[in-house]
Structure 1
Amino acid sequence: MVNSPSHPPQLLDSRFLETRGFRPEIQGLRALALFLVVTYHIWFSRVSGGVDVFLFISAFLLSLSSMRKINEGKPLALVKYWLHVFQRLLPAAATVVAGTVIASFIFLPASRLMSIVQDALATLLYFLNWRLAFNSVDYYAQDAAGKTPLQHFWSLSLQGQIFILWPLFFVLVALMARRLRFNLIGSAILVFGTIFALSLAFSVYETSHNQSVAYFDTRTRLWEFAAGTLLALLTFKWRPPNWARVPMGWIGIVGLVSCGFVLPVEQAFPGYLALWPLLSAALIILAGMTGSPAGADRILASKPLLKLGEISYALYLVHWPVFIIYSTVTGQNHPGFITGTLMILVCMVIAWAIHTYIEEPLRKDARARTSTAGGQALPWARPKRSFVFLKPIAVISACLLIVGGPLLASRYYLQQREVEFAEIENQAGGAHFPGALAPENEDEDYDYPPLPATDIQSQYDGLEAGSCVGQVELVNPVLEAECGFQGSGVEDSPTIAVIGGSHTGQSIAFYRELASYNQMNLLDLHTGGCRFPLEAEPNPTAECIDRNEAWSQQVLEQKPDYVALMLTQTSSQGDREILVPGVEEKIEQFTQAGIRVIGLRDNPRWKQNVYECAQTSKNDPNSCNEPVGNRLEPVNPAQDLIDSNSNLFGLDFTDQYCPEGQCKAVIGNVYVYMDNNHVSKAFGRTLSDFAQTQLDDQGWLSPTV
């Protein structure tokens, strides 16, 4: 045959064509990886590494297809490919997103809803992984991000981004091979080998320095896709000897199954340790169909796994929302083997329905339009060019409109509700929402539901970040972006500087009232997640080290009249309460510099999210209560320190958190907490009178002796 422009010479030999066709062992591998993901989540509350295999297989199959097209001189048809991919992926995803949001409105606490709706919108637009990455460094968003029933969509968002990006790299490979006459395999190795090396190096660095972000970061995962592509290239040039294929398959199976037990996947991926599941999957793919009765492929190609592989995408979509919603409603994070098995079976039924009634009709329609007879497309099956584009555009648009429209409306509704609650919150401490000021008779009926019931991030009550600039002479520029200032007096009025982590920061709710009443200035130098001092932290972050040094420097050079910090540290595991390590030395350092110190006893911490418990137990909020002896030490561990230093003034709100010996979730028609350990903004405001009384009793405004 004479080559023509329409039939350019092939760049690979005939062995390339042998990679065509359905690979049952890969379908079985996908099913096995999915089974591990689901069972590890539900039975063991661990991460398996199976998601990494999904990404790896996706790149492997995409690369085979793209290389075939380049080799045969066929156009990559990027737009057509993109439309086909998202027409296939989005309907099932949109269905699960819609169902999850509806179930969340029915079963989950109101405080989660805004975050879930935002997650759902990010999921539809394939950037949830970036939203989770940004939230992972936001101290007050971490709790909500870690419990979203849509969290598993991070990998699908990442996959969608790669499905857009990867074909563009193959366009570059095609240009190098066809236009520049480079070797096709060599060009692909150069492009994807470079991506592999750069991304892996960045992944190792980022995982060791900021693993919570690295886990969701697209850049740290590119090497996993590049590894799949490089494996595809390897299969064009090399096949393992027959004697090695059976052991390779079994080594891969054992490595894949054991990965989640041997490695701390959730804490260590996607650094170099993620090579473990990828190499295991690579061995299985290279082993292929051995034809041996002892081969692992006999299991992978078995009917049960192939059937599971058919619903694997839908099952992955469904299992996590079911697990999270069940765990929230029942309070059981570990459902147990029997309950977990029933949960998996329910998920499989739902996944089968999605596959049968949503995925399959679209795929059958696509196959019908490309059906052939004798290798030629049937005349009635030849789609018009415009229809090839219009059908997927219509499907994608319908998914975005039908699901995205109500989500946008829900977000607007929740935003309006937050505005309303913010206005009502100003009444905290009044007759309808007395909070800590409530009379002893807690059986009083109130005309309004308790406050607040909004997203956790709305409960953060720090002063406006960056408001110190122009108001305070900062001695360290690291504070400029976060420092907050409230001026309630004249320039030389007494100043209270609040330093420490989130438990000091939550006290801003009453310190701002205290400063306003006494016409003082308030300086907010806290950072969520950075305790002060750092002796209590085994591995403090570089950011917290910098912040602690900056806080100390600012206080010692500016010499505010008062420094407010934490004296004790409680535990969610019981009544363990200790004096904050290193705080005695810091207090001595400040008081010797002529600075008075206000020390706060920590509030009770809980094993459960007591805020959500109270929301889901509206008929009996007292069911969330616990005796004070379960949460705090009988005597304030800092009391001796307070008694021994006349320039240290202690604040202890135990009687307000735990009236009559019961630590409560709701007091005076106000939710006390916003999670399992942070006091809500509304309740914090109602503590200001008690703070004033305790400080006055200790003579805090008396002249320094």
Structure 2
Amino acid sequence: MYLKLPGWLRHTMTWLGIAGAVSCGFVLPVQSSFPGWATLWPTISAALVLIAADAPRTDGYRGNFLLRHPWLQTAGEYSYALYLTHWPVLIIWSITTASSHPGFLRGTMLLGIATVAAVVITWISEKPTAKLLARDRKLMRERKNWPLWLPQFGFRAIAVLTVCVLLAAASVVGSRSIYEHEKILEAEQSKNVDVRHMGAEGPANASNFRPIPGELIATEQMGAGPQNKCSQDDPYWSAICFEEGDAATADRDILIVGSSHAVVYSGTVMETARNLTNGESWHVRLQGAPGCLFVDPGNTGNACADLWTIADRYIREQKPDAVVVVATQGQQEAPDRLHNKPGEDMVSWVKSVTAQGTQVIAMRDVPRFNDDMLECGAQKGWNNPECIRLGSQELPELTKYQHDIEAAGGSWVDLTEVVCPEDMCRPAQGGLVTYFDHSHLTDAYARSLAQKTADQLAPLIGWWPPKVWSA
């Protein structure tokens, strides 16, 4: 049933739809608005034009004179093909030129190339297919007396539909294969990347067009620490427990304990352990639990309390050379949360651990943000100023807390100025992706922090190597 609309209303709807569709790209910040509620703007605009045009013709409305112009009608014949070609042309150009913003002149050139490709596709594919299907009309008219249960399609239409289904299936299978292949390549690239001159060690003006790790695997990258799962019969076993090195023969024993942020820093420690050149060997053990901030040992009943109680027992019985903890919790646009309250008194715990002869390395947490840094960089460009965030706030309370930990015998490490130079946190630095979400560093970037960590630790801990990489 058709909508019966008066001519004046159809004119109004058409012009409102045209104005809405044209103004959308100028008014809305497209990159940050889609997908989302903003999608309704162009959708409703197009719907207004279509509804007005699809209603029955009346004496008071013969269509919009602008949309009836022969030039626009001719352009409309190629619009869908242009929709298909513009994106591949842009992506190919971006890959070959290592740039994500073509500018006005290059953008016009790319649009021209896409238009030529659209014309070619229309003439060699769309128009011949339309003519082929039109030949079925006579056959369809002759089917008036055919049984109703027979498919009401012409033979050519069925052939075209079959080909389309086969091509679509091949496309899906092929796309999935390409996706999996790209993931494997990205994983290998990330695993084998030489971070000695990248990330925290890279030049400030390094190209971040396609940083490592790739977008397909970046969210899976938090495994640069110890790689071997602890045995189920380990007396200090916990749900997240990995180790590397021979505990019986290693020259140094290092325990890393805490939340997922401690897991991230385990990659920094292991980068040092794997590059020792002084003939020493390290046994590195990681024990963690998601979201498990510091709590006073001795409590049990949940995974977090159990974790710190088990870790404290390991320290007392195995006497590792050092234990690495994240001593603060970064906050979103607020000062760090400090572990200096009843039930989470880290200063007293540090004093008790160092009294047993074990070094405590207290790492300040990295800044956290309200939005996903990886998503911002991938969608808006890795060097886009819109993706830069301010670092963590520093207040006198943090300085006093640091001094208290140091007075208790702990070694304080603060990498905020490294991760966020000049208080500017970026989604990529030195050719490496920094964050894979709103608060976790990628393993590749965590590895690149090894030398900056050594710069702060070597003067405090005599056996910590001052130089991580030999060259």
Same fold per TM (> 0.5)?
A: yes
Shift of 1:521: 0.8
% identical aligned pairs: 20
Shift of 1:382: 6.3
What corresponds to 1:192 in structure 2?
none
| Equivalent residue letter for 1:502 | S
2:383 aligned with 1:625: no
2:329 aligned with 1:569: yes
What corresponds to 1:424 in structure 2?
189
Shift of 1:330: 1.3
Structure 2 counterpart of 1:684, from 433, 442, 446: 446
Shift of 1:564: 0.8
2:243 aligned with 1:485: yes
Cα distance in structure 2, aligned partners of 1:405 and 1:550: 53
Cα distance in structure 1, aligned partners of 2:226 and 2:463: 27
| Equivalent residue letter for 2:260 | S
Q: How does 1:543-558 map to 2 (within 5 A)?
A: 543-558=303-318
What corresponds to 2:155 in structure 1?
none
2:213 aligned with 1:452: yes
| Equivalent residue letter for 1:529 | G
For the Cα contact (< 8 Å) 2:350–2:408, is it kept in 1? Answer: no
| Equivalent residue letter for 1:632 | Q
Give secondary structure in 2 for the equivalent of 1:577: strand
What corresponds to 1:601 in structure 2?
364
Shift of 1:558: 2.8
Structure 2 counterpart of 1:329, from 31, 48, 55: 31
What corresponds to 1:36 in structure 2?
none
Structure 1: unaligned runs, 5 residues or longer: 1-325, 353-377, 385-396
What corresponds to 1:436 in structure 2?
200
What corresponds to 1:193 in structure 2?
none
Cα distance in structure 2, aligned partners of 1:444 and 1:687: 16
Shift of 1:468: 2.2
Structure 1 counterpart of 2:256, from 498, 506, 526: 498
Shift of 1:496: 0.9
Measured at CA, do residues 534 and 419 of structure 1 come closer, stay the same or move farther in structure 2, by a change above 3 Å?
Answer: farther
Cα distance in structure 1, aligned partners of 2:350 and 2:360: 7
What corresponds to 2:12 in structure 1?
none
Shift of 1:544: 3.2
Shift of 1:510: 0.8
| Equivalent residue letter for 1:438 | G
Structure 1 counterpart of 2:404, from 641, 644, 648: 641
Q: How does 1:520-599 map to 2 (within 5 A)?
A: 520-533=282-295, 542-572=302-332, 574-580=333-339, 581=341, 582=344, 583-599=346-362
Shift of 1:477: 4.6
For the Cα contact (< 8 Å) 1:462–1:524, is it kept in 2? Answer: no
| Equivalent residue letter for 1:503 | H
| Equivalent residue letter for 2:193 | Q
Measured at CA, do residues 383 and 410 of structure 1 come closer, stay the same or move farther in structure 2, by a change above 3 Å?
Answer: closer
Measured at CA, do residues 676 and 348 of structure 1 come closer, stay the same or move farther in structure 2, by a change above 3 Å?
Answer: farther
Q: How does 1:3-402 map to 2 (within 5 A)?
A: 329-330=31-32, 335=37, 339=38, 342=41, 345=44, 380-381=147-148
| Equivalent residue letter for 1:435 | G
Measured at CA, do residues 558 and 667 of structure 1 come closer, stay the same or move farther in structure 2, by a change above 3 Å?
Answer: same
Structure 2: unaligned runs, 5 residues or longer: 1-27, 52-144, 152-161, 465-471
Q: How many residues align?
A: 325
What corresponds to 1:468 in structure 2?
230
2:270 aligned with 1:512: yes
Measured at CA, do residues 508 and 625 of structure 1 come closer, stay the same or move farther in structure 2, by a change above 3 Å?
Answer: same
TM-score normalised by L of structure 1:
0.40
Cα distance in structure 1, aligned partners of 2:257 and 2:382: 39
TM-score normalised by L of structure 2:
0.58
Cα distance in structure 1, aligned partners of 2:172 and 2:404: 54
| Equivalent residue letter for 2:222 | Y
Deviation track 1:445-491 (CA, whole Å, cap 9, x = no partner) reads: 57x72112233442112546662229xx7224544xx3111107862
For the Cα contact (< 8 Å) 1:428–1:435, is it kept in 2? Answer: no
Cα distance in structure 2, aligned partners of 1:639 and 1:605: 20
| Equivalent residue letter for 2:442 | S
Give secondary structure in 1 for the equivalent of 2:329: strand
Measured at CA, do residues 614 and 556 of structure 1 come closer, stay the same or move farther in structure 2, by a change above 3 Å?
Answer: same
Cα distance in structure 1, aligned partners of 2:296 and 2:372: 26
Measured at CA, do residues 476 and 437 of structure 1 come closer, stay the same or move farther in structure 2, by a change above 3 Å?
Answer: closer
Cα distance in structure 1, aligned partners of 2:349 and 2:30: 41
The two structures, once aligned, show a CA RMSD in angstroms of 4.2
For the Cα contact (< 8 Å) 2:206–2:429, is it kept in 1? Answer: no
| Equivalent residue letter for 2:199 | G
Give secondary structure in 2 for the equivalent of 1:570: strand
What corresponds to 2:426 in structure 1?
664
Which structure shows the bigger proportion of residues in helix conformation?
A: 1
